[in-house]
Structure formats: C-alpha cells, structure tokens
Amino acid sequence: MLKRLFPHPVLSVLLVIVWLMLVNGFKIGSLVMALILAIVIPILTAPYWPNRPPLRQIPAFTRYLLLVMWDILVANIQVAKIILFMPADRIQSAWIPVPIDLKSPEAITLLAGTITMTPGTLTADMSACGTVLLIHSLHAPDPDAIRDDIKARYETRLKRIFE
Amino acid sequence: MDLAIEAILSALLVIGGIFAVIGSYGLLKLRQTMQRLHAPTKASTIGVGTTLIVSMIYFPVFEGQFSWQELLITLFLFLTAPITANFIAKAQMHSRMTRDDLPPTGLGNDWATFDEDENAPPTRR
C-alpha cells in the first residue's frame, strides 16, 4: 500500500520539502497540499523514470555537491580573470570530445551539468550513442589536460555514487 | 555588532555586483557566440549567489524572520542554468555551424545534433 502510494520515496520527500520552502512556513494546510503533490507528481512522471537509480551514497553525494560548489566559486574567478585581463584574440577556445564510462542517464546528466557550471567548460552535445560528450572550453591551451581533469575529478566520483 | 554584519553584507553585495557586471561585460568583449555563452553562465552565478546569501543572513538578523525561498532560488538556478546553456549551444550548432566545425567523435556514429543515420541503433539518452 505504502509502496503503491509512494513509488519514488526520495522524490516524494523532496517535493514535500520544496513545497514547504516555497510556502515559506509550516501550516497544516500547506502540508496537506505538499502531500497531495508528493503523491500525484511521482505517479504522473513515472514513465520518465524507467529504471531510476537508488540513491544509496548520500554522504558521498553530499561531498560531491560541496566539491562542485567550491569549483563553481573558483570557476567564477577564473572566468572573470579571462574576461577582464586577456585580449580577445589570445583566448584559445576549443572543442573537446570527452569519452565517458558512465552508463546511467542520471549520472551522465549530472556530469554534463557539472561540466557546464565549472571552470571555463560547457557541455554542448553528446554522441548519438551516448558515450562521448562534446565540450566547449573557453580557454584551453591544453585540451587533453582538461579532458583528463574532468574524468579524474568528477567522473570517477559519480561512478562511485551511481554504479 | 550590527555594524560589522552590515559591513560584511554590503561588501558581499558589492562583490556580487562586480561579478555580475563582469559577466555582462564578457558578453560584449568575447567574439564567438560559443565563447559568449561562458560569461553569463559562470561569472554571474557568483553575482546571484552572494545576493541570495546576503538576503538569507539579513532577514533573520535584522527583521527576525527566516526565509527559505533563497535556497529554492539557488536550487532552481543550478537546475536550469546548464539546460539553458545546452539549448543555446544546440541552437547555435543547428543554425550557424556545419559538421566540419566540430572534432570527430572517434566512434561509428556522430554527435547527436548532426547524426542523420536512420539505421543507427536506438539512441540511449
């Protein structure tokens, strides 16, 4: 019964929390509304999650989020420096194909999002079979180093979390 | 004490503002569309971020009410920013670029934007 009502417990809990934050305060009425959403939305969106990965590694995932937030901070400063101090014709932009070993679509989405938010890189496309990401780098004197850095810094961590 | 907090918060606001201006300046300075995409997705994250942090500290300290909505804005921003950037990049690839502008995938099939092989195995996305 409980399992039929909440097929995706993590999503349901997240929806309740987000709704209560949106209302910005705790009232019984908003809790009821949150519960309705927590039941209806997972059922409506179930077709889009054919085989959702279980999120077991919550500490590892939290560490990953903190790492990414720190990298975003560094990325902001780096990109600001490039914009302010580097002459436009000396910026060497490059397209970098990054082969990935991740299998689950959720992990790949997270990796692509991370790449977009962090140091001077942007996910633009992926190969039709889903095994190579196309990345655009703002300033890449050494494209291979950037590729290896992405694989070592983010992909191995995501692999441990999701697979 | 209040003065110290106010000073710190003001400093954060100014820093955030500077980063937001740098992001917009990047739009003007950089020359290719793909390069311009980097400026607003990154240099302005810190602009929005510091503003939200200041708001999250200011209201509990000076008005006595805590607000959760700043955290939500951060969450939604982090969810939508990569997707927006990806869509703009894809639109750019469709309308202004040809296949030859991109490096090879090193595989049997091409980048998803340019892949037109109808006999290809079902895509996994």
Q: Among A137-141, B92-96, B121-125, whose mean pLDDT is lowest?
A: B121-125
Average pLDDT over residues A116-140: 80
The confidence score (pLDDT) of residue B125 equals 42
Which residues from chain B sit within 8 angstroms of residue A123, using beta carbons? 82, 85-86, 89
Please tell me whether the overall predicted TM-score, pTM, comes out greater than 0.95 for this model: no
Q: Are the C-beta atoms of B70 and A103 separated by less than 8 Å?
A: no
Dihedrals φ, ψ of B123, to 5°? -75, 150
Q: Which residues of A touch B64 (CB under 8 A)?
A: none
Helices A9-23, A28-45: crossing angle, 10 deg rounding? 140
Task: Determine contact, residues A84/B22, Cβ cutoff 8 Å.
Answer: yes
A20-37 per-residue burial string, b: 16 or more CB within 10 A, e: under 16:
bbebeeeeeebeeebbee
Instruction: Tell which residue, A154, A137, A133, has the closest CA to residue B37.
Output: A137
Looking at the complex, report in whole angstroms how far the Cα of residue A1 sits from the nearest Cα belonging to chain B.
31
Distance CA A155, CA A137 (A): 17
B28 vs A: CB within 8 A: no
CA–CA dist A12, A41 (Å, integer): 8
Of A83, A112, A130, the CB nearest to B43: A83
Helix (H) or strand (E) holding A160: helix A156-162
Beta-bridged to residue A80, according to DSSP, are: none
Q: Nearest to residue A109, comparing CAs of B45, B86, B34?
A: B86
Q: Cβ atoms within 10 A of the Cβ of A115, count?
A: 25
Q: Tell the residue number behind the tokens 């006999």, with chain if given.
A: B119
- Take residue B106 and report the two structure tokens written for it: 């090193």
Which residues in chain B touch residue A124, judged by CB atoms under 8 angstroms apart? 34, 86, 89-90, 93
Tell me the pLDDT tens digit for each residue of A22-50. Answer: 887 778 888 888 888 888 888 887 777 76
Check if the beta carbon of residue A97 is closer than 8 Å to that of residue A133: yes
Residues A20 and A33 sit within 8 Å (Cβ to Cβ)? no
With a cut of 80, say whether residue B115 has pLDDT above it.
no
The whole-number pLDDT of residue B14 equals 92
User: Does A77 have pLDDT greater than 70?
Assistant: yes
Residue A95: which of B42, B75, B102 has the nearest Cβ? B102
| Residue B108 and residue B102 in contact, taking contact as beta carbons nearer than 8 Å | no
- Please indicate whether, in this complex, the C-beta atoms of A79 and B85 are within 8 angstroms of each other: no
Q: Do B46 and A76 touch (CB under 8 A)?
A: yes
Q: Out of B23, B42, B106, whose CB is closest to A75?
A: B42
The confidence band for A2, taking pLDDT boundaries of 50, 70 and 90, is: low
B8 contacts chain A (CB < 8 A): no
In chain A, which residues touch B (CB < 8 A)?
18, 20-22, 24, 72-73, 75-77, 79-80, 83-84, 88, 91, 93, 95-97, 99, 105, 112-113, 116-117, 120, 122-132, 134, 136, 138
CB contacts < 8 Å between A and B, how many?
143
DSSP 8-state code for residue A24: T
Q: Are A150 and A116 a contacting pair, CB within 8 Å?
A: no
Give this complex's ipTM: 0.72
What is the edge-to-edge ordering of all strands in the sheet holding A121-126? A94-99, A132-137, A121-126
